[in-house]
Structure 1
Amino acid sequence: MQLAIPITGTRGDVQPYVALGKGLAAAGYDVRLVTHDDFADLVTQEGLDFAPMGGDSRALHAEYRVRRMMKAGSNPFTYLREFARLRAPIMTRLMVEGLSACRGADLILVAPTAPLVAISIAEKLRVPVCGTAYLPNCPSRHLASCFVPELPAWVPGRSFYNLASSVFIAANLWRLLRASINRARREALGLPPFGLLGPPLRRWLHEMPTLHGYSSRIVPRPRDWPDNQYLTGFWFLENQGWRPPPALERFLSDGPAPVYVGFGSMQNRDAVAFTQLVARALKRAGLRGILATGWGALSELSAPDRVLAVRDVPHSWLFPRVSAVVHHGGVGTTAAGLRAGVPSLLVPFFGDQFFWGRRVFELGAGPRAIPRNELTTERLVDGLKSCVGRDDLREQARRLGEEIRSEDGISRAVDAVGEIVRRSKRLSSGNGFWA
């Protein structure tokens, strides 16, 4: 059986699907990952078929574009507007390239960064779809959307707020993307436009089975989710056989376990100043640090004997060897920090990063998150001291790490796909959804 997974975004968006695809391939499925050109090696090195879609990810997320998104902070409406601005100009290209790449697929897995692209392609090819998510995206009375603040339990109307927030976020994103989606459906696929309200909500939310790639220990399954929502556990990509450069090995062995500081695909207008802030905080806290420069949030500025700058090190290898992790709150980095069993300090920039910051704090695995636009040297020093000095945080992080390491999210997801296929021999006509 051939599976296609169209996915756009940064490496943090794509890597969980490489892990999932690898697990599906090991179970006997033919898996094609359809994504940006600069992730071709990441995909093919894990033995998966690659097809290009959407050009170069780093060019798409160029600094001036992401800078607008980062200004959104915790404002979901500004964030969604800037997300739509990134996707709208390339929507027709996504559908043209995605259509070519998905031909021959028996099942299309829908990723959260390009859901209506995948659904439209599936409709054109008349193949079924299975939703996927690495954060909760099914409306519930017990859980608000990841993009809005949570209300305290004592606030009247909390259940209505929770349910309405997910519907409202989805409706707002559809409003922003409607014109580009419908134009691309017409020009690239020869399909009629979705209606004013988008795809039929009942089918989108309740009839499409969805795999949720995160741990129920971190976000418990809401009681009112339908049975076709599968909560599997995190999808980790194991970097077996990776060898660290000698400089990194020497740094780790030359002193106490350092703190990891890295912000993935995030970017800063003045990376040097931001790096100096981090270095000052580490020095004042009396700690050594490994700074991951990523896509440019941090520079390669370093202090002899105290700080080592690296570009890209697998989290699964490095995090168990550090005393704490400081990061932006992307779900992949959050999951890796929790699995390593060390305290995490989150510095969210925008979007669902604030949600994961709240979860880590509420679970007792790290201090309260510090929003990027509120970060100061003093606040970072306090957060670092909490991570390395509070026994309660360290013990809770250790316990959570043990629990997450005992889960096998990939195997559960593979089993769920098999169940979905077995249950769904009969397909609805012409729209790509399971009957």
Structure 2
Amino acid sequence: MRILIITAGSRGDVAPFTGLGRRLQQAGHQVALAAHGRFAGLVRECGLEYRALPGDPVELVRARTAAPSPEAARSVFAAFLDELSEGVTAAAAAGTDVLLTAFGPAPLARVVADGFGIPSAGVYLAPGVPTREFLPPGWPSTGQLSPADNLAAGREVLTRTGSLYADALQRLRTRLGLPATTTEVSGPPDDWPIFHGFSPAVVPPPADWPATVHVTGYWWPAGPPAWRPPDQLVDFLAAGPPPVFVGFGSMTPAHERLHDVVAAAVERAGVRAVVQSGWAELGPAGNDILVVGDLPHDWLFPRTAAVVHHAGAGTTGAGLRAGVPAVPVPVLVDQPFWADRLHRLGVAPRPVPLHELTADILTDALRSCLDRPAYRDRATEIARTIRAEDGPAAVLSHITQLDQR
């Protein structure tokens, strides 16, 4: 079958689907991955067909941040959604039998799949279905809420998302010759299949989720087949004890103070550090600091003593897989959710939101990770569990059933 995976956003929103796509490809399917242009090389290096989506997530973040009013920011996002609608449509028109979609573009992708008369399913990297058991990722926590409050918040997230997408969805339906409807505003129907690409050991599937909603285990990034670590990195790792990793991924690049915070904390904690520059363009100076660009976390993290990160879904999973303790420094969206999970799992001290981070706080968190064996012991235990899981298997089984109809 010709399978199209649609995703939008940062590298962390793309990389896991390279692993899922390669597994489906190995089973004999033709797999294309549609993403923004800056990730074309990543997709092709993993042996998958690349299909282009318009827009640049970095520029979108900058434009929305620079907007002079909430109304202007909403207009920026509305224009992005219209472009994305056209991109999803074009990607599907290039030849598709089954459409799999990440959470972000899901409302658009479902309409496109309906327009082309093909089956679709959700492939989510964070919980995307309301539940009584916990608040939805991205929802501000104001203390312990009741199960009813959790469920209401989850439904509200879908309603707000539907409201943001409503105009773009109606225009898309018109272009595809579909009748006007308002059903997308409340989220997908209960019988629409959704697969969550994280471990049930990290987020156990809630008892009140529909039977069509699954937690499969992680979809690990495929990685380029011929990747080799830079000599400078290999030499740095060999020159002393395992360093800590510091990186904030696709965080918006407007935090110059982090250079000084990271440099001071590394010195005060008495550690060595590999710092990933990321979108924040981190470049702290120090004799025990090596600054690197993008590289596979599955290679680097097992060689570290701890990982300091923004608690994005992909980075969180990579740290757990490596069996190393974490210092979660969440910034936005689903990151506080994953940061809280790491703490509850016992592999990390209490999360520190980025706006509260100081050199002293980071120093204390690093020393806590390194001086308390319980964090590493627990991380080792969880790593053993999630490495044994076969995350793509449930998605492959679903595709196989569709192929036999």
Normalising to structure 1: TM-score of the pair? 0.87
Q: Which residue of 2 aligns with 1:230?
A: 214
Q: Does 1:110 align with 2:96?
A: no
**8 Å contact from structure 2 (residues 155, 186) kept in 1:** no
Letter in 2 for 1:124: G
Letter in 1 for 2:323: G
Segments ≥4 residues shifted beyond 6 Å: none
Following superposition, the deviation at residue 245 of structure 1 comes to 0.8
Deviations 1:126-180 (A, max 9, x none): 1111111111111222232122256877x6xx12112111101111122223223
Q: Which residue of 2 aligns with 1:92?
A: 82
Q: Which residue of 2 aligns with 1:176?
A: 164
**8 Å contact from structure 2 (residues 307, 324) kept in 1:** yes
Q: Which residue of 2 aligns with 1:12?
A: 12
Following superposition, the deviation at residue 82 of structure 1 comes to 9.8
Rounded to whole Å, the distance in 2 between the matches of 1:145 and 1:384 is 29
Q: Which residue of 2 aligns with 1:307?
A: 289
Return 5+ residue gaps in structure 1 as ranges: 69-77, 426-435
Could you say what secondary structure the match of 1:5 adopts? strand
Q: Which residue of 2 aligns with 1:147?
A: 138
Distance 1:268 1:101, change over 3 A: closer
Q: Does 1:321 align with 2:303?
A: yes
Could you say what secondary structure the match of 1:207 adopts? coil
Could you say what secondary structure the match of 1:339 adopts? helix
Deviations 1:376-426 (A, max 9, x none): 11111111111111111111111111111111212343224324555xx3x
Q: Which stretch shows the higher mean deviation, 339-348 or 262-271?
A: 262-271
Correspondent of 1:330 among 312, 315, 340: 312
Q: Which residue of 2 aligns with 1:366?
A: 348
**8 Å contact from structure 2 (residues 31, 49) kept in 1:** yes
Q: Does 1:406 align with 2:392?
A: no
Following superposition, the deviation at residue 270 of structure 1 comes to 4.0
Rounded to whole Å, the distance in 1 between the matches of 2:306 and 2:25 is 34
Distance 1:259 1:200, change over 3 A: closer
Return 5+ residue gaps in structure 2 as ranges: none
Correspondent of 1:250 among 226, 232, 235: 235
Q: Which residue of 2 aligns with 1:71?
A: none
Correspondent of 2:181 among 191, 194, 205: 194
Q: Which stretch shows the higher mean deviation, 411-420 or 254-263?
A: 411-420
Rounded to whole Å, the distance in 2 between the matches of 1:162 and 1:298 is 36
**8 Å contact from structure 2 (residues 121, 193) kept in 1:** yes
Q: Which residue of 1 aligns with 2:129?
A: 138
Could you say what secondary structure the match of 1:206 adopts? coil
Q: Does 1:278 align with 2:262?
A: yes
**8 Å contact from structure 1 (residues 291, 298) kept in 2:** no
Following superposition, the deviation at residue 114 of structure 1 comes to 0.6
Higher normalized contact order (CA 8 Å, seq sep 6+, divided by chain length): 1
Normalising to structure 2: TM-score of the pair? 0.93
Could you say what secondary structure the match of 1:198 adopts? helix
Q: Which stretch shows the higher mean deviation, 172-181 or 375-384?
A: 172-181
- Number of aligned residue pairs: give it: 401
Following superposition, the deviation at residue 189 of structure 1 comes to 2.9
Rounded to whole Å, the distance in 2 between the matches of 1:124 and 1:238 is 31
Distance 1:174 1:18, change over 3 A: same
Correspondent of 1:387 among 369, 380, 383: 369
Q: Which residue of 2 aligns with 1:161?
A: 149
Could you say what secondary structure the match of 2:259 adopts? helix
Distance 1:321 1:29, change over 3 A: same
Rounded to whole Å, the distance in 1 between the matches of 2:74 and 2:238 is 46
Rounded to whole Å, the distance in 2 between the matches of 1:420 and 1:395 is 42
**8 Å contact from structure 1 (residues 95, 184) kept in 2:** yes
1:2-81 superposed matches below 5 A: 2-61=2-61, 63=62, 65=64
Deviations 1:294-344 (A, max 9, x none): 11x24334212x100001121000000000000001100000001000001
Q: Which residue of 2 aligns with 1:347?
A: 329
Rounded to whole Å, the distance in 2 between the matches of 1:91 and 1:134 is 20
Rounded to whole Å, the distance in 2 between the matches of 1:64 and 1:52 is 21
**8 Å contact from structure 2 (residues 115, 176) kept in 1:** yes
Deviations 1:6-65 (A, max 9, x none): 21111110111121111111111111111211111111111111111123343334x353
Letter in 2 for 1:267: T
Q: Which stretch shows the higher mean deviation, 220-229 or 247-256?
A: 220-229
**8 Å contact from structure 1 (residues 144, 163) kept in 2:** yes
CA RMSD of aligned residues (A): 2.2
Identity over aligned residues, as a percent?
36
